Amino acid sequence: MSDTVRIDKWLWAARFFKTRTLATSAVELGRVLQNGQRVKPAHSVRQGDMLEIQHADQVWELQVLRALEVRGSATVAQTMYQETAESTEKRVKAAQDRKYFREPGASLTGRPTKRDRRLLDFTRS
């Protein structure tokens, strides 16, 4: 086990991304911050580093506990990091908001009728 690992390999091994290519793209697009700074995919991750990962509509803030470059089981991957309490609270709150939010036009199919349009305008105001 080495002391440092490439950040794209670590993200893949920790199971935040399904492939290394997706992890590399996320790092290049600035969706992964290490200690508050944008980094390149080849940048090294060490034990104790703080990472902020934006994937889909979720944001994780975590501390690196282990630097492994081999993808293992999900239980092994969960031992590689520790999520901050604030991050956990934010993700749980966001999940609840998504659960109870209903898109106003979700029940509509195709082009809205005049009646549908009035209902949409009424719900927005």
pLDDT tens digits, 20-55: 999 999 999 999 999 999 999 999 999 999 999 999
60/88 Cα distance (integer angstroms): 8
**Long-range CB contacts (< 8 A, 24+ apart) of 42-46?**
42/6, 42/7, 42/8, 43/6, 43/7, 44/4, 44/5, 44/6, 44/7, 45/4, 45/5, 45/6, 45/7, 45/10, 46/3, 46/4
Residue found under tokens 């927005």: 124
pLDDT at position 1? 54
pLDDT tens digits, 68-84: 999 999 999 999 999 99
Residue type, 112: P
Query: C-alpha dihedral over 41, 28, 56, 84, to 10 degrees?
Result: 50
| Structural domains in the chain, sorted by start | 1-87 (3.10.290.10)
The residue among 67, 43, 56, 66 whose CA lies nearest residue 16 is 56
Mean pLDDT of the chain: 91
pLDDT at position 57? 85
**Higher pLDDT among residues 109 and 54, named by residue:** 54
